[in-house]
């Protein structure tokens, strides 16, 4: 998609490229290895595009959200239900769009920023251990 729209943006010397990654881009999570690796790629790709084209009048941003109440997490009401850390799609979109032009990388929603800041206080092995426990607990619950 970027390859398709970039030439026109360069010609006009304006435009915006917004890529959606995830907070999991920062962690190598068991059971989600392909998802977290893909999101790491999206974050890295966005930084590279910004380095190459950001000075050409094009705004480049990577949004790295945490929980948003969508069909992706509808399988578990505890994480699907909107709340303090789980934004509704409308609230998240409004918040994320407001950051365009102000932040090259953002979680898009203030409570997601709190979550990421808190998680980054811990070593990755601890986060992986907690995530593994959470997944195994949920798998037992589903049986």
Q: Which residues are catalytic?
A: 35
Helix (H) or strand (E) holding 19: strand 15-20
Residues 6+ apart with CB under 8 A from 39: 21, 22, 24, 25, 64
Dihedral sign, Cα of residue 115, residue 87, residue 62, residue 134: positive
Angle at CA of residue 57, ends 1 and 62, nearest 5°: 50
Dihedral sign, Cα of residue 102, residue 107, residue 110, residue 116: negative
User: Contact, 86 vs 80, CB < 8 A?
Assistant: yes
Strand partners, 87: 68
């Amino acid at each position: 998609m970027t390859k398709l729209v970039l030439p026109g943006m360069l010609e006009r010397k304006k435009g915006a490229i917004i890529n959606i990654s995830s907070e999991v881009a920062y962690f190598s999570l068991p059971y989600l290895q392909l998802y977290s690796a893909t999101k790491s790629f999206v974050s890295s790709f966005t930084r590279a595009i910004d380095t190459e084209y950001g000075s050409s009048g094009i705004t480049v941003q990577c949004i790295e959200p945490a929980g948003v109440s969508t069909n992706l997490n509808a399988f578990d009401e505890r994480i699907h239900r909107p709340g303090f850390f789980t934004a509704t799609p409308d609230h998240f979109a409004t918040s994320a769009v407001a950051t365009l032009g102000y932040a090259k990388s953002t979680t898009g929603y203030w409570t997601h920023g709190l979550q990421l800041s808190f998680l980054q206080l811990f070593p990755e092995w601890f986060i992986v251990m907690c995530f593994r426990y959470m997944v195994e607990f949920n798998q037992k619950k589903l049986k």
